[in-house]
Amino acid sequence: MSPDKFFEAELTERIDFTEDLGLFRFCPATPPPFKPGQYVTIVVQDGDKLLQRPYSIVSAPHEKCIELFLELVPHGALTPRLWELQPGARVFMRNRIVGNFIVDEAPGVQKHVMAATVTGIAPFLSMVRHQIYRMSLGDSNPRDFLILHGASRLAELGVYLRELQELAQIHDWLHYIPTVSRPWDESEWQGETGRVDDLVRKYADSLGFVADNAAGYACGNPQMIETVKGILARAQFPKQRIHEEKYFH
């Protein structure tokens, strides 16, 4: 593949959370620049064609490797191939990391309410990690993040459940609310239950993430995205401050 369009990266770590969800960490020789919230395109040669699929990045731009939270699509063209990979395998990615799902920097927007289902947490994690890195360099004006993260079962939240819970205890600007929609399978779970979109107004209102100071974001299940967009619109969030993840080819 042409080096001016693609770079090669080695799979250095893989953690399977369930049979169809896992963390994949790919390390290129020189990581390309990107903004938190953007996505990378993995490319696989398939005869004389290229299979290309975009994936939101979990890692922050300062990290040496590109971390992805992937879901196996059993009859998909690409993820079944990725599920065969073990550490040491190599893949190609497009040189340009792109996407418009980034932190809203409009004047007056200090707070950010973010709704995710399962792998949809990826861009929000990148934003959180990047803000922590900026703070280590002296940024004394962090943005306030409210992250609502939903899944059917706890295992589907992976290692990111503990990471975000621990970070929320350290940083007062981060509020993390995980929820499971099948609590009867989780006998020890004492947190929120139900769908993530049912919690948006509850926590946004109680924590002061409102239309005149906040932007809203949704990433993950398409039905959840549409529901959250409607909730935020009814809460008087301006249309230009309601963001959804979209992949462009």
Show the domains of the chain with their CATH numbers: 6-94 (2.40.30.10), 111-244 (3.40.50.80)
Beta-bridge partner residues of 145: 112, 174
Query: What SS3 class is residue 197?
Result: helix
Q: What is the CA radius of gyration of the chain?
A: 18
Per-residue pLDDT at 49: 87
Q: Retrieve residue 242's tokens.
A: 């309601």
Q: Is the pTM of this model over 0.75?
A: yes
Per-residue pLDDT at 249: 45
Tell me the residue type at 143: R
Q: What is the DSSP letter of 196?
A: G
> Helix 222-234 to helix 200-207 angle, to the nearest 10 degrees?
40
Residue at token pair 């993995």: 42
Per-residue pLDDT at 248: 55
Beta-bridge partner residues of 183: none
Q: How far apart are CA 115 and CA 21, in angstroms?
A: 19
Q: Please name the residue ranges forming H helices in 91-144.
A: 122-136
Note down pLDDT in tens along the chain; length 249 residues: 677 789 999 999 999 999 999 999 999 999 899 999 999 999 988 888 889 999 999 999 999 999 999 999 998 889 999 999 999 999 999 999 999 999 999 999 999 999 999 999 999 999 999 999 999 999 989 999 999 999 999 999 999 999 999 999 999 999 999 999 999 888 889 999 999 999 999 999 999 999 999 999 999 999 999 999 999 999 999 999 999 997 654
Residue at token pair 């935020």: 232
Per-residue pLDDT at 235: 97
Query: What SS3 class is residue 35?
Result: coil
